[in-house]
Homo-oligomer: A and B are copies of this chain.
Amino acid sequence: MNNADSPNEPRPARKVTAAMVATHAGVSTATVSLVANGKSAGRVSKRNEERVREAIRELGYYVDSIGSSLARGVSSLVILVAPDISNPFFAKLIAGVRGVLGEDYQLLLSVTDAGLSPSATEIRRLLGLRPAGLLVHAPTPLFLSELSSPLPLIALDAPDAPENIPSVNFDVLQGAHDVAAHLAAQGHRKVGYLDATTGTATLRMRREAFLSAAAQLGMQVPAVAVSSSTIEMGDAAATFATHWDVWKESGITALACATDTHAYGVLQAASTTGVRVPQDLAVTGFDDLPFSTASHPSLTSVRLDAHSVGVQAAQALRQLIDGTPLKESKLQLSSQLMVRASSGGTQ
């Protein structure tokens, strides 16, 4: 009953299947599959290979990944799960990942609701796609347990990930310590900390590391001078505005912020309330976003190499997918303190 197998002219409107290519080239679908997947070496004759290639070109055939995935039991998708894409950090990370994955895997992003881990249903839908691997930014323990299946997975920026979950992290301890040491070196003796309200592990570590380093370096951190706000700049600004009187009274001369965005809010609020930075208050950030060189004053911050994270994570994931055991389950990338004007460093 199949009256459509007369391959006279390539009909671009109709979906081209491997079977069509096969008849067009006068071979079987098996041969087409071999050629289309570059597995023809030593398994298909030169002549047939050439024929198939030509048919593919003429018909405009491309492998249907749905069919392919079903047959193989797994897709060639790598899914990056991240909450807050709008961070310039991610653009660089993605570039790094893409470079490593190349043509072999297809990278797609799954964005979760602001700052939240994906819901159970979302996770199932993700798994339903049968991805070759997952890259997950700052996964919650809940997310990881919900996942359950033995899927190649690398956690990013997840210093709290359990032992059995490979992860690529920044050395935030070092970064936070560097900030504290820098402030101490500038002569500060009482400092404050503006934390983020979202409780990801990396942010918790930043705070804890800073506080412990500060103590170690002989700096006081008055309890009233440790506060927090959401990652919205406006919120950070408001927090500064409402707390400044108390902070000032507590005698702090420097404020370390959990992220650059927080610091921007502080700089803005300081400017409008007439607080001079760094004379009245030194301010530091964390992340070293591009804007930090353009803010007024320019912001002292901790630079994290997003591109490297992407590269390392993608390489590790590929190993996992290939079944090669990872030599290092936990990778740690160094961070670098960028001293700028907001802390009274070099302009």
Contact = CB atoms under 8 A, between A and B. Distances in A.
Interface string A84-109: 11111111101100100001001111
A162 interface: no
Interface string A251-282: 00000000000001101100110000000000
Contacts of A69: 66
Among A86, A90, A121, A265, the most chain B Cβ lie within 10 Å of the Cβ of A86
Contacts of A70: 66-67, 70
Interface stretch (A44-52, A110-118, A152-160): A110-118
Given A113-B98, A128-B63, A291 B91 contact: no
Q: How many copies does the complex hold?
A: 2
A114 B290 CA distance: 16
A64 B92 CA distance: 32
A148 interface: yes
Interface residues of A, number: 60
B291 A128 contact: no
A294 B264 contact: yes
A1 interface: no
A13 B150 CA distance: 8
A68 B124 CA distance: 14
Interface string A327-347: 000000000000000000001
Contact of A65 (B121, B128, B232, B233): B128
A295 interface: yes
A64 B128 contact: yes
A308 B286 CA distance: 31
A182 interface: no
A293 interface: yes
B85 A90 contact: yes
Given A111-B109, A113-B98, A128-B64, A148 B264 contact: no
A209 interface: no
A108 B106 contact: no
A114 B95 contact: yes
Contacts of A125: 62, 65, 106
6 contacts: A64-B128, A70-B70, A86-B89, A86-B91, A98-B111, A233-B290
